[in-house]
Amino acid sequence: MPAAFLPTTADEIRALGWERPDVVLVSGDAYVDHPSFAAAVIGRVLEARGWKVAVLPQPDWRSADAWRALGRPRLFWAVSAGNMDSMINHYTANRKRRNDDAYSPGGRIGLRPDRPTAIYAQRCREAFPGVPVVLGGVEASLRRIAHFDYWSETVRPSMLVSSKADLLVYGMGEKPVVEIARRLDAGEPVTALRDLRGVAYLLGRTEALAEHRFPGASNDPRTVELPSLEEVSSDPRAFARMTALHHHETSPLNARRVVQRHGDRLLVQNPPTLPLTEAEMDAVYDLPYARRPHPRYAEPVPAFEMIKDSVTIMRGCFGGCTFCSITMHQGRIIQSRSPESVVREVERIAKDPAFRGTISDVGGPTANMYRMRCTKPEVEAKCRRLSCIHPVVCPLLGTDHGPTVDLLRRTRAVPGVKRVHVASGIRMDLAAKDDAYLDELVRHHVGGHLKVAPEHVSDTVLEKMKKPPQATFETFSERFAAASRRAGREQYLVPYFIAGHPGSGVAEMIELAEFLRRTGYRPRQVQDFIPAPMDIATCMWHTGLDPFTMEPVTSAKRLRDRVVQRALMQFFDPKHWFTVRRALLDAGRGDLIGDGPRCLIPSHPPPEALEARRAAAEAAARRGTAAEARARLEGDADEDPTGGEDGGDETYVHAQDAGTSPTVGYRPGRPGARRRRPGR
C-alpha cells in the first residue's frame, strides 16, 4: 500500500512501521509529491517496486545531524540539487543573488547552499560512512564532465571529483536508479554497477578501465577520449574540441563510452539510458502521487502553485538549440505517454474539490512534439545529427500533429474540465506546417496569448542558436493571425527574445529593436543569456569559438555591454533613454533618435528618464559612491546594472562571491548586505 506521502522524518518512518529506509532521497527542493518534481517521481518509482523510500528535503547542510536523524539507509543515498541547477536558481545573469526561490516554501531563499549536490554528498558520507552515494538531477547531469562554470569563470572538474560520490546518474533517472537498487539489494558492490547505461564514475588511481558491452542498441564498442581536464582548463581550442566530441555522443542508440583524464584519475561516462517506451512512461506517471506539497509546509511552494494543474505528455527535444540544456538531460528522442494515461491524470485532477476547471498546460519541453520521431528506425539508429530541424526539418522526421490534436480533444472532453491551455510553448517551424493543428490550438487552447520563442531576429545570431531564420517567425505570425480570424478570436503572440547570446552585438540588438518597433511588440521581461554548464553556446561564450567550425564568435561579456543589450530590447521604456541614446550614437545610428516613425527614442529625454537617472544617482550616493553619483547626474554612467531584475534590488555581488566563497550559499540574517565590484 503506497504511503500518502513518502516519509521525511524519523517519526514518519516509525509511523509506517519501518526499522529504517532502504533509500533516502536528499533533495535541494521542498518535497512536493507531484510528477513534475524529480524527488517525487524517483521516490514513487522505487516505492512501486517494493523499496522503502524516505525523502530528506532541503536539510540544514551545516552539519550531518539531519542525515543521521533518518537512520542509515540500507541500500544507498540518492542525492540531487533539485529540479533546477542551483546556480541558475540562486543568481541572475549578472551574478546577482535572486530574491526568491520558487522551489522553497514561501519562496524563501537560504534553504540550500550553492552547488548543494557535492555538499549533500559530503554529509551523507559523514553521517554513515560506507553507504553508497549516488548523484542525480539536473545539476549533476550537466556537470558530469569537465565544464565551464560561469559564476566562478573557471573550468571545473566533474561533479564526481568534488562530491566523491560512487556513481553519477545523468539524464532522466528512473531506469538506472531501479537497476542500482535492484543490484545493491541483491548484494552486489557499488563498483559492480559501472556497467549500467546512464551512469558516470571515477576510476581509482590504480584501477584499469574494464571492457563493457551495453545492450539495447547497436553501438560502436570503441571508447572516445575527450581532452583532459588539464587541457581544457588551459586551452580554449581543446575545450571546444571536447564540447563537439561530447555532444556527438548523446544519442542512446549509437553513443559510445566517453572517458576524460582528471589528473591521475579517469572519468568514465557510459552511453545514455535507452528512452522509455510508452508503457514505461505510463507506468511512471500513473503512480499514486498526492499532487500537493508535503503537509510539513505551512507556506505555499511557488513552483507547485504554477504547475499543480498541468500535465506532462512527453519528454525530450530534438531541436538542439545551443543555449538549451534539455537535450543534454532529457535526450533528443521524444518519449510520449499514451492518450489513455494522460486522460487518467486529467480525470484525477478534475476530481479534486479545489480544481477550478482549467488545465493550465498540456505539454512538455515543446508541446507540439508529442509522438514525433524519425520514420526510419534504421536511420535513427545511426544518425548523429544534433538537431532534427536545423538547419532544415529532416524529411525523415514524422511531423504529424494528428496525435496531438486527438489528445487535446480527449483532455478537454473530460467531465469537469472547462478549459485546457497549451502554455509550455510550441515549435513554430513545425506548427506552421499544419493549419489544422493551428486551428485547433487557437480555437480551444490559447487563452488570448500564446508563448513562442523566436529568441532573436538576426539570422546571424539565430544560426549560432540553431534556431530557424527570422522568416519562420513572420510566417508563423501570419498563419496564427489567420487562424485566429477564422476562429473569430482576438489573440496575440508573446514572443521571447534573448539578450547577450554569443554572436549578438549592438548592431544585432538594434536590428531586434527595430523589429520590435515595427511590429509593436513590447517585451516586459528581458531574458538574459546565462552560460549554463555543457551547453554549446556556453562553449562559444567561454572560448570565443564555434566548437563545430572553430570559427570565432564574439560575446558581450562586459557587464556594461550586457546592460546595453538589455536596454535596446526595451528601448520604449523611458528609464533606458540615456543608455539607448549612447548605444545608438556609438553605433553610428543617430538616425534612430528623433520623432520620426522609424525612430526608437525621442530627441530629448522624457521626464521619466530624468527621474530614473536622478533616483539612480541618489542610490549611488547612499552606497557612498560619490563619483558614480556625479556621473549619473551628468549622464555619463550606465544604468544600474542590477535594475529591472528581481525588483531592482541594489545588491552588488562580487564575482568571487557567486558560489565560490568559503561560506557556501546564502547568509541568513544578513538582509541587504551589499558587495561592490572592485574598481566600481
- Determine, yes or no, domain membership for 668: no
Per-residue model confidence (pLDDT) at position 552: 98
- Determine, yes or no, domain membership for 148: yes
Give the C-alpha separation, 356 to 38, whole Å. 26
Residue 216 backbone zone (phi > 0: left; psi -120 to 50: alpha; other: beta): left
**Do residues 29 and 104 lie in contact, with contact meaning Cβ atoms separated by under 8 Å?**
yes
What's the one-letter identity of residue 262? Answer: H
| Total structural domains within the chain | 1
Model confidence at 645: pLDDT above 60: no
Per-residue model confidence (pLDDT) at position 1: 64
Model confidence at 651: pLDDT above 60: no
Give the C-alpha separation, 543 to 550, whole Å. 10
Question: Taking every pair of C-alpha atoms in the chain, what is the biggest distance, in angstroms?
Answer: 78
The three cell numbers locating residue 281: 512512461
**Do residues 134 and 165 lie in contact, with contact meaning Cβ atoms separated by under 8 Å?**
yes
Give the C-alpha separation, 377 to 250, whole Å. 17
Q: Write the CB contacts of 187 (distance below 8 Å, at least 6 apart in sequence).
A: none
Per-residue model confidence (pLDDT) at position 221: 80
Q: Please state the φ and ψ torsions of residue 428, each to the nearest 5 degrees.
A: -65, -40
Per-residue model confidence (pLDDT) at position 347: 98
- Which domain covers residue 34, as residue numbers? 10-215+263-269
- Determine, yes or no, domain membership for 106: yes
**Do residues 542 and 148 lie in contact, with contact meaning Cβ atoms separated by under 8 Å?**
yes
More reliable by pLDDT, 329 or 630: 329
Please state, for a pLDDT cut of 70, what percent of the chain lies above it. Answer: 91
- Determine, yes or no, domain membership for 592: no
Quick one: average pLDDT of 478-500?
Answer: 94
Per-residue model confidence (pLDDT) at position 675: 40
Give the C-alpha separation, 612 to 614, whole Å. 5
Cα end-to-end distance, the chain, whole Å: 61
Please state, for a pLDDT cut of 90, what percent of the chain lies above it. Answer: 84
- Rounded to the nearest 10 degrees, the angle between the axes of helix 38-48 and helix 174-185 is 40
The three cell numbers locating residue 666: 546564502
**Do residues 274 and 252 lie in contact, with contact meaning Cβ atoms separated by under 8 Å?**
yes
Per-residue model confidence (pLDDT) at position 632: 54
Per-residue model confidence (pLDDT) at position 617: 84
The three cell numbers locating residue 629: 553619483
Q: Please state the φ and ψ torsions of residue 390, each to the nearest 5 degrees.
A: -135, 135
Per-residue model confidence (pLDDT) at position 524: 80
Quick one: average pLDDT of 341-348?
Answer: 98
**Do residues 329 and 365 lie in contact, with contact meaning Cβ atoms separated by under 8 Å?**
no
Model confidence at 644: pLDDT above 60: no
Quick one: average pLDDT of 517-530?
Answer: 90
| pTM, rounded to two decimals | 0.90
Per-residue model confidence (pLDDT) at position 222: 85
Residue with grid cell 474540465, as numbered in its chain: 417
Quick one: average pLDDT of 555-561?
Answer: 93
Per-residue model confidence (pLDDT) at position 281: 98
- Here the CATH number for the domain that contains residue 70 is 3.40.50.280
Quick one: average pLDDT of 155-162?
Answer: 97
Give the C-alpha separation, 31 to 33, whole Å. 6
Per-residue model confidence (pLDDT) at position 621: 81
Q: How far is CA 87 from CA 209, 315, 606, in A?
A: 33, 24, 38
Give the C-alpha separation, 542 to 547, whole Å. 11
Segment (H or E) for 68: helix 65-69
The three cell numbers locating residue 521: 511588440
Q: Please state the φ and ψ torsions of residue 309, each to the nearest 5 degrees.
A: -105, 25
- Determine, yes or no, domain membership for 64: yes
- Determine, yes or no, domain membership for 84: yes
**Do residues 324 and 365 lie in contact, with contact meaning Cβ atoms separated by under 8 Å?**
no
Per-residue model confidence (pLDDT) at position 670: 39
Q: Which residues pair with 497 in a beta bridge?
A: 455
Q: What is the CA radius of gyration of the chain?
A: 25
Quick one: average pLDDT of 300-304?
Answer: 97
- Determine, yes or no, domain membership for 128: yes
The three cell numbers locating residue 344: 487518467
Chain mean pLDDT for the chain = 90
Residue 620: band (very low, low, confident or very high) from pLDDT cuts 50, 70, 90: confident
Segment (H or E) for 293: strand 292-293
